[in-house]
Amino acid sequence: MEWSRFDQAELSGEEYQTIFDSYFRVLDLESLPAHAEGFDAGCGSGRWARGVASRVGTLHCIDASEAALAVARRNLAGFRNCRFHHASLAKIPLSDGSMDFGFSLGVLHHLPDPAAGLAACVAKLKLGAPFLVYLYYALDGRPAWYRYLWRMSNVTRRIVAHLPYRARTVIGDFVAVVVYWPLARAAGWFERYGWDVSSFPLASYRQRRLYTMRTDALDRLGTRLERRFTRQQIITMMQAANLVDIRFSDEAPYWCAVGRRAPSN
């Protein structure tokens, strides 16, 4: 139901490109081989696949939700090079060592075993092929008051996530309107007057539309399982999955990182 309610059809133009670039800036898509073949692990509505498909040869869109894949098929209908697979990350229907690239954004931190999910994805890559991942950060470097606010929001998430879907959407919309929107717009206002808003809560949404805030508020509050990782924990997990040359984006959203598959030990 979430995918049909927020199918990302309204997210387009400059806002889409800005958000897309914020995730993919550490993965140089232009450096991929000609006619590269890769995969989106946990494609959801196809939001990010839409920005990748036109730049590669073949893109495999994989998701464990039939409903999500149905939306992705609709959103990506204009691309003849997309292939859709109903599968979990543990059972990706691609040959090991066959892919030129891969990415998984906002998925692994919702799994019972993120490390196993990452390792399953990396196994599909050719040697030297890049893999891009986005994982919720553990508020690395944030002040104590910021972490306290997050803990309060996490208590809310634990309650809301167990409510019926309709209740979750109503609460998500309410939070987007009364929390996300005013804080984001306040950050934008302060920035225009020369303030450093890098530590301002929800400042990364200061140029986002309400639609994006509603989407993310529902995703944040409606998920029962959420794990967060420090930068070092992500490095350790990526290395254990046989990724090397690991690089992080030093801008929001945190953390986005890319690594390349190394030869097996």
Which residue bears the tokens 């309709």? Answer: 166
Residue 55: pLDDT band (50, 70, 90) is very high
Interhelix angle 231-240/114-122, rounded to 10 degrees, is: 50
Residue 265: pLDDT band (50, 70, 90) is low
Q: What is the pLDDT of residue 6?
A: 60
Which tokens is 78 given? 């204009």
- Residue 223: other Cβ atoms inside 10 A: 15
The yes-or-no verdict on residue 261 having pLDDT over 70 is yes
Tell how far CA 74 is from the center of its chain: 20
Residue 141: pLDDT band (50, 70, 90) is confident
**CA dihedral sign of residues 64, 67, 69, 71:** negative
The residues pairing with 58 across neighbouring beta strands, listed in sequence order, are 37
135 close to 114: Cβ distance less than 8 angstroms: yes
Least confident of 86-90, 97-101, 213-217: 213-217
Residue 177 φ/ψ, nearest 5 degrees: -75, -40
Summarised one tens digit per residue, pLDDT across range 143-174 is 888 888 888 889 999 999 999 988 999 999 99
- Residue 246: other Cβ atoms inside 10 A: 17
Best-predicted range by mean pLDDT among 9-13, 95-99, 208-212, 222-226? 95-99
What is the edge-to-edge ordering of all strands in the sheet holding 37-41? 82-86, 58-63, 37-41, 101-105, 130-134, 256-261, 243-248
Summarised one tens digit per residue, pLDDT across range 232-241 is 999 999 999 9
CA atoms within 13 A on the CB side of 104: 26
Domains, in order of start, for the chain: 2-138+228-261 (3.40.50.150), 146-221 (no CATH)
Nearest of 12, 263, 254 to residue 109 by alpha carbon: 254
The yes-or-no verdict on residue 7 having pLDDT over 80 is no
**Rounded-to-integer distance, Cα 127 and Cα 64, Å:** 26
